[in-house]
A and B are shown apart, each in its own frame.
Chain A
Amino acid sequence: MAVVGLYFIGLVFGGVITDPNITILYVTIAVLAFTFVLLTMTRMRRGIRIGAYTPVKVLSVVKCGQCSFKQIKNFAIGDFVFKALGKCTQCMTGDLTINGIYTEGSPKK
């Protein structure tokens, strides 16, 4: 289609044609051809954009039952909500548990 467009543009500016009607016709064809090419290209780009799969980052929130200790770490296999992680390192008395596991929303809808 790009070739068709270029060909007709060439015809118009080649100077062979004198009838203005034909010039208009050829320009129209050229514009149509280029529009088609453009549309196809945007379609392809959209297809690729949907295609990319981004792995999500999952985080675990660790909280102490006694003090205000709170830590956000990367999710490790075996983590689950309300899993006990032993004693708190800050107050030495409270139990650490995972309070929540979440992923920060990716920009993609």
Chain B
Amino acid sequence: MLPVSLHENDLLGSLFGNLGTISQLLFTVLFIALFFGFGQKLQMRQFLWDIDKGLRRLDMFRNSAKDLTLKTVKEIGKPTTDPGPSINVLMEQFLISPVDMDPAGIVGKIDHLLDVRDEKFKEDVRRIAPGADSSQVMNLENLVEASWALNTIYRIIRHFYLMGKKTNSIFIIIQLQALLPLIIQEAEAYLGAAKAFAEGQPIGDGIGPLVASRLMKDKVQRKVEKDVVVAETMMEDRRVIALKAEGPGGNVGKPGDAIKTIIEENVDKVSMVIMVDAAVKFEGENSGEVSEGIGAAIGGVGTERFKIEQEATLHKIPVYAVIVKESLQEAITPMKKEIMDAGEKVIERIKSLILERSKPGDTIIVAGIGNTIGIGQ
């Protein structure tokens, strides 16, 4: 009897003595439960909180862009009626891209759609702001487009936020939370762009037109195609035809059509096309660095690039690209000094390209690609 009872006592004693071990076990179980079961919920809550904060920032951005648009329209447009409702209509505008199941001829279709949209947009802005001159209308159009972009970003993010909340889907929320800092950065750049557009300041993307305008300054200029100006100059005994969108209103023009026209005007004479444009740099590279390559350097939907590539192939003309590196933010916010200074380097590059790749007496097209806002000619 005794040994058993002793044994029982011992067991009880060791049980009490092992209270530490038990609580340790309890804590371990609690931690596992906390981190593996409840942890995800906790994390999701935190993500949602982050997204909510970001969303409020985006809302703030879009509102200040809209206020800026309204203010600028009222200041320089001298509208007779309240422009608010019309601007709201413009903000919600959309473009239905053509069917791409049968892609033959789609470039023409997209080009046509963009033309129509452009024309309508300009028409609407002119109606809202009857007091603005043509370059101010261009700037206003750009401004409305920037606030349209901010509005659209906000609407899309809010859509996914509410979707994630409603469906409780951690995957939607994680993706949104991961992308949000980049999106906010982009939205902030758009707000900076809106400010530049409102005041008509040159933006980083304007480096192409800036270089072209330096070449065509004080030369006889004429207009070809939609909003593109052309001037001839001599460089190293070669005939250089420089072109850029017509400034100083915010405009990118249609350089594809212009290059096509010039090549057709000078059949068999054009020996090369040099395109100058801003290009998005990789993180870690210096802004304002100049580099050169081969091919049509032009952004956008791709319709202009298509036209240039087609024309160059048809006439077997080599297309060279000289680009200035900058970040996306720098491209749409007021031009930085290092980017402006890169203009001189670009002209040097063009000179050496011409010397290496053409003969005296040749005709060369230099196209300054980009938004020419704040840059005259």
A residues neighboring B (CB under 8 Å): 19, 21-22, 25, 29, 47, 50-51, 53, 55-56, 58, 75, 77-83, 100-105
Contact = CB atoms under 8 A, between A and B. Distances in A.
B181 A101 contact: no
Contact of A50 (B21, B184, B247, B334): B184
Given A25-B24, A101-B340, A103-B333, 7 more contacts: A21-B24, A25-B27, A75-B199, A75-B201, A81-B213, A82-B217, A102-B337
Contacts, number: 83
Interface in B141-189: 181, 184-185, 188
A101 B195 contact: no
B201 A105 contact: no
Given A51-B57, A80-B376, A103 B336 contact: yes
Nearest to A57: B334
B201 A58 contact: yes
Interface in B246-272: 247-248
A79 B117 CA distance: 29
B69 interface: no
Contact of B337 (A50, A53, A104): A104
Report the 9 A-B pairs with minimum CB-CB distance, sorted nearest first: A80-B248, A82-B376, A19-B20, A103-B334, A81-B375, A102-B337, A102-B340, A80-B374, A80-B376
B175 to A, nearest CB: 19
A80 B375 contact: yes
Interface residues of B, number: 37
B248 A47 contact: no
B193 to A, nearest CB: 12
Nearest to A51: B57
A29 B35 CA distance: 14
Pick from A29, A50, A104 the residue with the most CB of B within 10 Å: A50
A82 to B, nearest CB: 4
Nearest to B376: A82
B200 A80 contact: yes
B333 A80 contact: no
